[in-house]
Amino acid sequence: MKECNEALNLALQSLPKMTLEQLDKTVPLSASQAPAAERWEPTVKHIDYDVVIVGGGLVGATLACALKDSGLQVALLEAKPQSEAVARGQAYHINLLSSRIFDGLDVWQHMRSGVSPIAQIQLSDADHTPIVQLVPQDLGTEVLGYVAEHRVLLEALRNAQSECANVTYLCPAALVKTIADAEGVTLEVLQAGATKTLRTRLLVAADGSRSSLRQQAGIRTRGWQYWQACVVAFIQPEKPHANIAYERFHPDGPFAILPLPNNLCRIVWTAPKAEAEAIMALDDEAFLTALKQRYGDQMGVLSLVGERYVFPVQLMQSDRYVLPRLALIGDAAHCCHPVGGQGVNLGIRDAAALAQILQTAHQQGKDIGDRRVLKSYERWRKLENLMILGFTDTLNRVFSNNVLPLVVVRRMGLWILRTVQPAKRLALQLMTGLVGRAPVVANIARNRV
């Protein structure tokens, strides 16, 4: 009770009223900074929901679907209108574990036609000819992973979630205020110009890397902004991409090509920030010329499809994933370098793990917002995520430079990957998510995906 008051009750209370645009840019506001007139004393005591998930991105939506048979009443809040949330021009590497989680949740069948399998991965050092070729036989699987657009994944999750009788989707709905007590959290939500008060036993922050819930709760993060930024674009090559994914390591940052359906490719071009800005400033023709130099000639003429975007890149790990009545998942809890395409996969795994823990606790008659229940989620996921954060950071540091000892180390590393089968297998297990504790829902699908 005392901990609850100190940690969440005080730290989460009295968010100022915000527009939806402002909501994404909130800065921390401590209880002592809240103007007295804004203080809010909710009187509602009955519980509307067992779980309220704030953030309907891929991770929040996965958690909502994963709680479908839990016996818990769930609300999912998304601040952006549905069309906007779905239309994000992003595409992801979906690793084998994530595909198994989706399959275990019965959503994979609805994603499958919009997803491209990865039949081969080619790793190379830009200035060094030998290429490491990774194929499914190295792992004993049929494919090495998948690539899909954000829209395809989120639409399938939304459709599945709309069929879950225990999940209420509030969109667009902005969280305005929260206050916690020993039994639950009371939320004030702004929807269609009207405010409504909801009460829940557990609040889940799936509100992205700038999570206002994490900040309001006073949870500290560790990490750094990289010196690099990522330029992303969709490309249509003249020749078939043959479902090959490329990761080429250049001294200024990795360059990835991911195969998508309809012979589209996703380019993730990491470069020092100033260079990334310069790449963005090129007109389309000059961009395609620069791209061709980096891409090579093997796929013929390249055409640009849609807009280019640039993203900052950071490594971030939250000191805590949980407080009494609060859990963080996905980018709200951690962010990693995009090399290897791990980010959203960690979040999908968080969502499946948290759902499993909540469902078990509920079946055992425990309070799902209790710190001890939530701590078991933190113990499960925090260390595993840290391992991948470390893996992607090391990859980026070892490959993104020209320091001679590191050049020797990386060439040795690539040589080992080319010639030592167990090393190849271990690297693939890390990339495909097949290291660490798998949520039960993924095991259900183990033999299918």
- The footprint of ligand FAD (CB under 6 A) covers 23-24, 54-60, 77-80, 85, 90, 92-93, 174-175, 206-208, 212, 230, 232, 268, 311, 330-331, 338, 341-345, 347
Cβ atoms of residues 168 and 17 within 8 Å:
no
> Closest CB to ligand FAD among 254 and 330?
330
> Closest CB to ligand FAD among 93 and 424?
93
Identify the residue whose tokens are 């809240």: 34
List of residues 6+ apart from 403 with CB closer than 8 A = none
Cβ atoms of residues 270 and 338 within 8 Å:
yes
Please, what is the angle between helix 150-162 and helix 58-66, to 10°? 30
**The pair of three-digit structure tokens given for residue 313, joined into one six-digit string:** 């890149």
Closest contact distance (angstroms) between CB of 309 and ligand FAD is 8
Neighbours of 159 (CB within 10 A): 12
d(C-alpha 38, C-alpha 235), whole Å: 50
> Closest CB to ligand FAD among 256 and 374?
256
3-state SS track over 273-300: HHHHHHHHHCCHHHHHHHHHHHHCCCCC
> Closest CB to ligand FAD among 4 and 58?
58
Q: CA triplet 80, 82, 83: central angle to 5 degrees?
A: 105
> Closest CB to ligand FAD among 164 and 362?
164
Closest contact distance (angstroms) between CB of 408 and ligand FAD is 29
Closest contact distance (angstroms) between CB of 352 and ligand FAD is 13
> Closest CB to ligand FAD among 60 and 439?
60
Q: Which residues of 63-80 are buried (b: 16+ CB within 10 A; e: fewer)?
A: bbbbbbebebbbbbbbbb
Closest contact distance (angstroms) between CB of 371 and ligand FAD is 23
Write the burial class of residue 40 (CB in 10 Å: 0-12 exposed, 13-18 middle, 19+ buried).
Answer: middle
124 to each of 157, 399, 411, how far by Cα in Å? 35, 10, 9
Closest contact distance (angstroms) between CB of 78 and ligand FAD is 5
Closest contact distance (angstroms) between CB of 2 and ligand FAD is 27
Closest contact distance (angstroms) between CB of 293 and ligand FAD is 21
> Closest CB to ligand FAD among 252 and 331?
331
Write the burial class of residue 236 (CB in 10 Å: 0-12 exposed, 13-18 middle, 19+ buried).
Answer: middle
> Closest CB to ligand FAD among 55 and 413?
55
Closest contact distance (angstroms) between CB of 131 and ligand FAD is 21
